[in-house]
Each structure stands twice: as structure tokens, then as C-alpha cells.
Structure 1
Amino acid sequence: MFRNLFVFVLFTICITGFSYGRQASRSISVHDPVMIRQRDTYYIFCTGMGIRKWSSKDLKNWKAEKPVFDTPPKWAVNMVPDFKGHIWAPDISFYKGLYYLYYSVSQFGKNTSAIGLATNTTLNSEDPGYKWVDHGEIIHSEPVRDNWNAIDPNFITDKKGKPYIAFGSFWGGLKLVALADDGKHLSSQSPGMETIAGRKKNANDPNPIEAPFIFKKGRWFYLFASIDYCCRGPESTYKIIVGRAKDLKGPYLDKTGADLRTGGGTVLQAGNENWYGVGHNAVCSSDGKDYLIYHGYDAKDKGSPKLIIKVLTWKNGWPVSDEQYNK
């Protein structure tokens, strides 16, 4: 994701300033949220020191839980200069009997970035078996060598159950690469990366796109992404776009038939009088409903990033976001 000093200060103030175990209202401060349900409890993981974690029984009242990591992963400290444990854009999935938590670390303003993985048998911190096991790096990017950014991971399987990871921000756009069957390494048989979305028209364009999230519904794969600029207070232009494809690798097209690799994308959510900008979404299915989870910069609270949850309905094969659920 796009970063600068202002982003770092904003995240530090908004995301680290709470005590664990506190019951919170609907308007919790989060950035880059992803959600999953285990039994009767919903869990949100989001950007922050050690990866922030929240839990809720009703999707409205949230409890701040202890972060995933007590100390920064050693491999990340060695890889990313000045890394102190502020971890970006986690992604949570249940796969092969384990909860897979992919996460990203990055040097501000550079594509010195990496995606790691931690697993757990349960998300309930009171369960005796609760323990995060870190598996280290999955993939990393380097300046000069790579024109892509190993950040904002999203785990997805194809129609045959083969695992992949989508990722990327700015630079060369959003990428997709195959994982080994255990989901803990890149596939040794991978033909390479697929570019699945981008906005770059020429070499000088900044390509403001990030945060891929692929959701399978019926016979379609839906690629959600965030475009334009986050974290700029009243000047934020962040918004969510979507395209769809019959094959996981694409091509992903919007409602007009435009290819997301060349600037296409149907806008699903954008800023308004209540939100300066909105983005970095995930989708979670539970009890027959699909929920759209993302953050917005609250126009009534100095642009603080807040949790937004909406119910997704589907019309003519396309997602439609309903009224905010967690008011």
C-alpha cells in the first residue's frame, strides 16, 4: 500500500491506542480489515503493531484482543530496514484444517517488501491450543530488481482447489502466483506471475491500485481492488472497484467489458459526505449472507479510519452493497 510519514503517524495514533479486552462500539478504528467466523464469533485482523485483532458476537460490538505477534518476526527484522513490528494488510483463511494468516512487511515508500505466513489451529485465544506458528517468508520484492510490490496478500483457490496468492500495490499492479499445495511456499511448478489488474497508462504513471481480494461466487471469480489514494485526510480519493472472470487467472472485466489490467473496474464504493475515501476491502460469507468489510476515513472524526461492514447482495451477476450494517 502507498505509504509516507503521514500514514505512519496516522496508523500509530489510530490503531495502537487501545487496551486489550476493551469492549468497543461499532465505530472501531481499523485499517485494512479482513474478517472470518469461527463458531459463534467473528474475528477481524488488521494493520497494526503485531497485527491487530478484534472479536465480536454480533458484528457490531467489538472486543480488542491481544495482537498476533508479541515481538516482530525475526526474519522480517532481518529483511526490512528499520522494521519495528508494524505489520500491514493481513489476510485470514481456513485451509487444510488450519487458519492461515498471511501478512506483509514493508519499508515506507519502497517496494522493499515481503509477505509472511502464520498458522493456528483456532482463533479463540482462550482455547488451550491457541498458538500462532510463524512460517516466515512466502515471497519478497526488491527495488531495481522487481517492478512489483510484495504486499497486501490474499489467499484463494481455483476451481480445482489449487492455492494461489494475489498481492500488489502501485508499481507493476496486482499479481497472482501459485502456491505449493500446503500453502506455505510458492509452487515449484509455477509458470510465473500473472498480472491481474493495473491502471498504468505510461511509464510515468504512479499506478494507484492495491489490495486485491478475490471472492468466488457461483461460476465467477470476483476481483475487488482499491484505487486512487488513501490516508490523506479530506484529500483521500480511495475507492473500491470490482471485475469478474470465469477463470481465476482472468482476464477480469468490469460491467462495460473493460479489462482491469488496463484501467478497467466498476466502482462499488467511493467517498461521500460521511467518508473522505473508502477502501481495502475483504468479503466474508456467513449464514447465507455475504459481507463487505473495509475501512473509511471518517469525515466527522478528522479522517480517522473506521470499520465499515455492509451486506452484499447480487444483481445480474454483480455485487451491490447495501446500507451500512454496523451502524
Structure 2
Amino acid sequence: MKYYVGLLILVLLTACSSAKQTVEQQTAAAYYSNPVVNYSLPDPTVMQGDDGMFYLFATEDIHNVPILRSRDLVRWNQIGTAFTDATRPTFVKGGGIWAPDINKIGKQYVLYYSMSTWGGEWDCGIGVATSDKIEGPYTDHGMLFRSKDIGVQNSIDPCFVHTKNKNFLFFGSFHGIYFVELTKDGLALMPGEKPLQVAGDAYEGTCIFQKGKYFYLFASIGSCCEGVKSTYTTVVGRAENAFGPYLDKHGNRMMDNNHEIVVHKSDLFVGTGHNSKIVTDRKGNNWMLYHAYELNASENGRILLLDELIWEDGWPKVKNTVPALQGKVPAL
């Protein structure tokens, strides 16, 4: 009898221990910690593929333009690169591929990208590549336009917007934010198209997001790339039209460099900017990825952070306007 009682106690203790471990695992899986990737992934762009997975592209590094994949925006694995050394764009001599922007137009995935060198603000430009699959490989179609040809200094940081049954590309870096209309396939400018300005010279890294009756222009101000001295900050303005006028809470124009703060530096992270497209989870919550330096590990470069956008009176910001140390995993 004692044997069976002891055996029963052992079974119950094992079950309780197993249940406790399961709860702990589920609790751990329900939360994440920043950074979600602790190596450099500047200027992230993200999109959900036809397979339900999320795909992230970032500024070129030694691995070319990296492509990472995730189911939950938290756990990322690199699966390849957009180009190879043989297929990467070359229209700017010695240029790097910066700030890609991934989209789907029709049945094709269309990747817009900047190509530039530090200080080459009139030779830089924006190009386009396509693939039948979001994970690539991508076929480069070359340059859409160059700064000196279109008349906008530092024409980088593309952001594709489809509205009013037309395609547009927003772009610009510290010399005004502009837009141009694109052809139906998104692979060329409309004939005779001239850029129009929508925001002032304080901004770069544009991302346009529509929620309700408003369009929100997210952008970055300050210095992006000076390690612990970086002052990058994510800001926003809103308008009832994708083409502006974008205003702050007080009705002041982004054309005059007025805006609201979305996220700025904290005691742990600095240089918080160049956010991705906004992702909406199945609960209707909005999320953004962006880069920053970690003060205690700045040698890792511009690492990847994830934060939920909190909406107050129609305005988005990260909670307390600083990166979260920990948060709930998106409901995807």
C-alpha cells in the first residue's frame, strides 16, 4: 500500500512540475525583451508574405541586403540576401544600398532602395528591383532617379504609398520630404513627373501609415550614425490627405519642421529611429520596428528594437516615449 501511495505522490509531483514548466514556458513565450536582434540591422522595412510569415530587409552590410524571417516579429532568422555580389545594383560608383522598402504591386514584390556614398548627396538616387517571391532572388531594374536629375538633394529613403488608385513614392533626407507619382507597375516615374514637397528639412526615413481618416507621416530627426552620440528620434505628423498638409497637435506644419515625438533615447538606448512599416496584429494593435544603439554595447551597431504604438487622442507614440525593456509579444 505504501508503495502505491508513494507512486501516486510521485506522479502528482511530476505532473505539477510539468505543468509549472509549461506555464513558465508559455509566460516566457508571451513576452519579449529589446533588442529583438542584437546585431546591426539599420533602416528596417518589414512586410508579411503570402505564407503569413514576416520578412525584414535592412541597409546593406557585409552580407549584402539581408533578408530575415519571423512568425511573431520577435524571433528572427536570416534566410538570405536580396542580391548577390554579381547582381547587386551599381549605378552609384562605390555606393552602398541603404534603407530598402518592400512592397507588393500586383503579383510582384517590389523592392525600392537607396544607393549612395557618405557625402554623395547629388550623385545618390533611388532604384527598384522585383521578385515573384518575397524571399527573392531579386532582379534589379536599375535607377528610378538620381538627385541631380530630379533636383532634390540627398534623394534617398524611399517609402511607397498606394492611394486614390495610384502609386506614389515619398523620399528625402534632410533637404525636404518629397513625393512623385509612379507608373501602374511601380517601376518608373510617370512621364514628366516633378517632385512635390510635403515636409521640411529636419526629416528623413519617411513612413506613411493610414489609420481612420488620417494619414500619419513618421520620420526621423537628428544624427543616425554616431554611436552613443547619436541623437536620432522618431517623430510624426498627421493629415487628412496623404499629400498633406501634415500638422502637429497644435496645427503647426511639418513643412516648418513641427512634429510630435514617437520615441526618443532612454537610459539604455540612443539613436532611436528610421522605423519600419507599421504592422497591425489580429487584436488591432500597431507595432513598429526601428533601430538604435545600446549604450552598453554600441559596438553591435544599430540593433533592432520592437515596440507597440499607443494611441492617445488620435496620436501615436511608444509608451513613455522610450523603448520598452520588455513587452507582450504581438498577437499574430
TM-score (norm 1): 0.80
Are 2:56 and 1:44 aligned? Answer: yes
Are 2:129 and 1:118 aligned? Answer: yes
Q: Which of 168, 172, 176 in structure 2 is aligned with 1:173? A: 176
* Relative contact order higher in (CA < 8 Å, ≥ 6 apart): 2
1:220-299 matched pairs, under 5 angstroms: 220-282=214-276, 283-287=278-282, 288-299=284-295
1:170-201 superposed Cα distances (whole Å, 9 cap, x missing partner): 2x2111111111111011253x21111114xx
Give the equivalent residue in structure 2 for 1:27. Answer: 37
From the two aligned structures, give the one with the greater helix fraction.
Answer: 2
- 2:85 counterpart SS class: coil
Give the equivalent residue in structure 1 for 2:75. Answer: 61
- Flag the 1:262–1:81 CA change in 2: closer, same or farther, 3 A: same
Cα displacement (A) at 1:325: 4.3
Are 2:157 and 1:163 aligned? Answer: no
1:100-147 superposed Cα distances (whole Å, 9 cap, x missing partner): 1111111211211111111122224xxxxx53222211111139x834
Q: Which runs of 4+ in 1 moved over 6 A?
A: none
- Report the residue type matching 1:64 in the other structure: Q
Instruction: Output the CA distance in 1 between the equivalents of 2:312 and 2:124.
Output: 38
Instruction: Output the CA distance in 2 between the equivalents of 1:147 and 1:41.
Output: 36
Are 2:92 and 1:105 aligned? Answer: no
Are 2:102 and 1:92 aligned? Answer: yes
- Report the residue type matching 1:197 in the other structure: A
Give the equivalent residue in structure 2 for 1:135. Answer: 141
Instruction: Output the CA distance in 2 between the equivalents of 1:198 and 1:224.
Output: 13
Structure 2: runs of 5 or more not aligned = 1-34
Instruction: Output the CA distance in 2 between the equivalents of 1:37 and 1:116.
Output: 22
**Residues 59 and 326 of structure 1 are in contact (CA less than 8 Å); yes or no, is this contact kept in structure 2?**
no
Give the equivalent residue in structure 1 for 2:26. Answer: none
Give the equivalent residue in structure 2 for 1:188. Answer: 191
Instruction: Output the CA distance in 1 between the equivalents of 2:186 and 2:125.
Output: 16
- Report the residue type matching 2:170 in the other structure: A
Q: Which of 81, 89, 101 in structure 1 is aligned with 2:93? A: 81
Structure 1 or 2, whichever has the larger Rg, is: 2
Are 2:81 and 1:70 aligned? Answer: no
Give the equivalent residue in structure 1 for 2:21. Answer: none
- Report the residue type matching 1:186 in the other structure: L
- Flag the 1:122–1:53 CA change in 2: closer, same or farther, 3 A: same
Cα displacement (A) at 1:222: 0.6
Cα displacement (A) at 1:45: 0.4
**Residues 60 and 326 of structure 1 are in contact (CA less than 8 Å); yes or no, is this contact kept in structure 2?**
no
Instruction: Output the CA distance in 2 between the equivalents of 1:245 and 1:308.
Output: 27
**Residues 176 and 197 of structure 2 are in contact (CA less than 8 Å); yes or no, is this contact kept in structure 1?**
yes
